[in-house]
Amino acid sequence: MNQVEWIIFDKDGTIIEMDSLWIAWATNFYLNLTENSDFEVGFTLQEFLKNIGVKDNGRSIDPTSPLAIGSIQEAETIVAYLLYQEGIAWSKGVTIARTAASLATTQQEHVTVKELPGIRRLLMALKNNGIKLGVITADLTARAENHLKQLGILEQFEFVLGSDQAVYSKPFPDLAYVARERYHVPLERTVMIGDSNADMLFAKNAGMQFSIGIIPKEVYPKDYLPDATKIIESYDESLVAMFVKKE
């Protein structure tokens, strides 16, 4: 096995606690639609949240859902389709959805994000052992950088790439190729850590060395990352031993 030189992290659900961030975003997305005077939304907030991936009466996100895995642009397409079913022309629906999503993102500019337990210590341990770190996320680049800056860990990463940096987001390998070209990341010596199977397939499609899926202890079932090389339940410094070459 080649020595690991880089580790790429997903952001939401991997570095940052996802549910509160994205449920609030999706709720604002819907409310922005209802404020459009040109039409009346034919589906309730609860129906919308369920369709996009919120479960347990609005308390958590299905890790296999569009809200958990997809990009903001993909969420816009889903909403445009829902509007099309309501009789709104596709071109108009796309514009309405894009405007509502953009406003929802702006409304979260000052949202407080929460890091996953152990992630800060892990990042420092990896850096201290000479491993380079990057972030590739389905979120927008500027928004992802803002979240990491808020946590005070942005400087730990060599780069942050969001879905706006390539035509196709995860699980397509395009963003990995961007990382290779811009930051000289040797993908065959790179590991992906994420919380969705899209992250695992992304690693496989890009030719990365292997992938690690994180599924918190309290989350069941644990069978939604079939393409992960390894599953972990939490972060601790013993994980560093997987990546550091023994002398």
**pLDDT tens digit string along 173-229?**
999 999 999 999 999 999 999 999 999 999 999 999 999 999 987 776 778 999 999
Pair of tokens at residue 223: 């069978």
CA distances from 102 to 30, 53, 122, 175, 221 (A): 12, 19, 33, 22, 34
Per the DSSP assignment, residues forming a β-bridge with 192 are 8, 211
Q: What pLDDT, on a 0 to 100 scale, did the predictor assign at position 200?
A: 97
Q: What pLDDT, on a 0 to 100 scale, did the predictor assign at position 138?
A: 93
Q: Where are the alpha helices (DSSP H) in 129-226?
A: 141-151, 174-183, 197-206
Does the pTM surpass 0.85? The reply is yes
How far, in Å, CA of 217 to CA of 98, rounded? 36
CATH superfamily of domain region 6-17+115-242? HAD superfamily/HAD-like (3.40.50.1000)
Q: What pLDDT, on a 0 to 100 scale, did the predictor assign at position 54?
A: 94
Please provide the DSSP assignment of 193-210 as one string.
EESSHHHHHHHHHHT-SE
Place of tokens 């069978």: 223
How far, in Å, CA of 197 to CA of 201, rounded? 6
Q: What pLDDT, on a 0 to 100 scale, did the predictor assign at position 1?
A: 56
How far, in Å, CA of 123 to CA of 132, rounded? 10
How far, in Å, CA of 35 to CA of 200, rounded? 38
Q: What pLDDT, on a 0 to 100 scale, did the predictor assign at position 247?
A: 47
Tell me the three-class secondary structure of 12-53, residue by residue: ECCCECCHHHHHHHHHHHHHHHHCCCCCCCCCCHHHHHHHHC
Segments making up each domain of the chain, as ranges:
6-17+115-242, 19-106
Q: What pLDDT, on a 0 to 100 scale, did the predictor assign at position 23?
A: 93
Q: What pLDDT, on a 0 to 100 scale, did the predictor assign at position 178?
A: 98
Low-confidence ranges of the chain (pLDDT < 70): 1-2, 37, 220, 245-247
Q: What pLDDT, on a 0 to 100 scale, did the predictor assign at position 126?
A: 95
Q: What pLDDT, on a 0 to 100 scale, did the predictor assign at position 219?
A: 73
Closest CA to 157 of 193, 188, 114: 193
CA distances from 185 to 90, 101, 154 (A): 40, 32, 18
Q: Directed axis angle between helix 72-85 and helix 90-106, to 10°? A: 140
Per the DSSP assignment, residues forming a β-bridge with 167 are none
How far, in Å, CA of 89 to CA of 158, rounded? 43
